[in-house]
Amino acid sequence: MQNKKKLAIAHVMTTLENEKEMIMNGRLDNLESFVQTKISAFDALEASKTSLSYEEMSTIEEALERNQSLYIACMKGIKSGIKKIEEIKQIINSLPTYGKDGKKLLVPIEKNNISFKA
């Protein structure tokens, strides 16, 4: 029974390490399908029908919390990237300048009026 438990814990930890690597390497397109792998790993651990020691549980919990932090950082990065792209799109279609009051404003550019001839 102990061997089955050790194998199940090793499978969970390997799965969590693979998840970490996927997040760190930006392979986010694989994460949705990876959920089933993660569920299977935890199901196997539950099926081992043995209780976990405090140390074993702490190790798994730390890996889960680490991956959750990585997910959060990843989402913040994606949102930041989207915001930057929107800013670039806005700059492409307008000229950033400052008004008399010193506040930033964007003057729309009509593309038909711009001449690119030297």
Could you read off the pLDDT of 63-86 as tens digits, one per residue? Answer: 999 999 999 999 999 999 999 998
DSSP 70-116: HHHHHHHHHHHHHHHHHHHHHHHTEEEEE-TTS-EEEEE--GGG---
pLDDT tens digit sequence for 26-71: 888 888 888 999 999 999 888 887 788 999 999 999 999 999 999 9
- Enter the pTM of the model: 0.70
In terms of Cα–Cα distance, which of 14, 44, 32, 13 is closest to 71? 32
Find out whether 73 and 28 touch, Cβ atoms under 8 Å: no
Does residue 23 belong to any structural domain of this protein? yes
What pLDDT is attached to residue 54? 93
What pLDDT is attached to residue 30? 83
Does residue 75 belong to any structural domain of this protein? yes
Domain residues for 14?
Answer: 2-83
Does residue 43 belong to any structural domain of this protein? yes
Q: How many domains does the chain have?
A: 1
